[in-house]
Chains A and B, each alone.
Chain A
């Protein structure tokens, strides 16, 4: 089955800890994205990656870091510098490199809570 797998589904973080959210896709998509969603809010872009070993900051990158060592994987680390990390984190991917008519598909999300 092709798809995007995020893990874990729920994650609890203590103050001052770094945590890493996993995102894996087997769709052979070039581009991958991380979004954050807060209650009643739209999705805000954290980071995106067009190809392996390259990634760009989105609108709210502060306090987050990513890597793209493999085409299939785009993990997100929420660092202690992120002051308000409690949110629903969504990973997405899309095919298409030069084509603008690309559709993005989402994983099932990780709900992060600071305790």
Chain B
């Protein structure tokens, strides 16, 4: 069973702080990793993708990947109340695979 695990939260951080969201996966053949943000009642929105070990930065978001530890994380700097949402980690196997496996999501609450 290929699994993606996330802490369900809620994770509460004060406005302006760094929010750290974590995800572990069980399938060592996984090659593509994605973070989606989902506001309550809305559909998921892709915010970051990462494919190789290390860090990838995009504005206030940084994705970190460690394939040896089977671990991917998302850092949100200068957290804003508008960042309050559920963050879904998604993992995909290599070429020829179309299936994304999702974690259950971490609910983030940014306190003004």
A binds B: yes
Binding site for B on A (CB under 8 A): 31, 33, 35, 40-45, 48, 50, 58, 90, 92, 94, 98-109
Partner pick for A100 among B32, B42, B44, CB 8 A cutoff: B32
Q: How many A-B residue pairs have CB under 8 A?
A: 63
Which residues of chain B are within 8 angstroms of A50 by Cβ–Cβ distance? 98
Interface positions of B from 9 to 47, Cβ below 8 Å from A = 31-32, 34, 36, 42-46
Check A103/B49 contact, CB under 8 A, given A42-B103, A43-B88, A43-B102. yes
Q: Is the CB of A104 within 8 A of B31?
A: no
B: interface residue count bin: 20 to 34
Knowing A100-B93, A103-B34, A103-B49, the reply to whether A94 touches B42 (Cβ < 8 A) is no
| Residue interface bits B83-100, CB-to-A below 8 A is 1, else 0 | 000001010111111111
Judge whether B104 and A108 touch: CB under 8 Å: no
Query: What residue of chain A has the Cβ atom nearest to residue B51's Cβ?
Result: A101
**Per a CB cutoff under 8 Å, which of B31, B34, B43, B94 touches A107?**
B43
Residues of B contacting A92 in the complex (Cβ-Cβ under 8 angstroms): 100
Question: Is there an interface contact between A106 and B96, defined as CB atoms closer than 8 Å?
Answer: no
A100 touches B104 (CB 8 A): no
**Chain A, residue nearest B97 (CB):** A100
Contacting residues, chain B, for A35 (C-beta < 8 A)? 102
Find out whether the CB atom of B88 lies under 8 angstroms from the CB atom of A100: no
In the complex formed, the residue of B with least CB distance to A50 is B98
Q: CA separation between A45 and B97, bound complex, in Å?
A: 13
Which of these, A31, A99, A105, A108, contacts B95 with CB under 8 Å? A99
**Which chain B residues border A101 with CB–CB below 8 Å?**
31-32, 49, 51
Which 3 pairs of residues, A with B, have the shortest CB-CB distance?
Answer: A42-B104, A42-B102, A100-B95
A42 to B100, CA, bound (A): 11
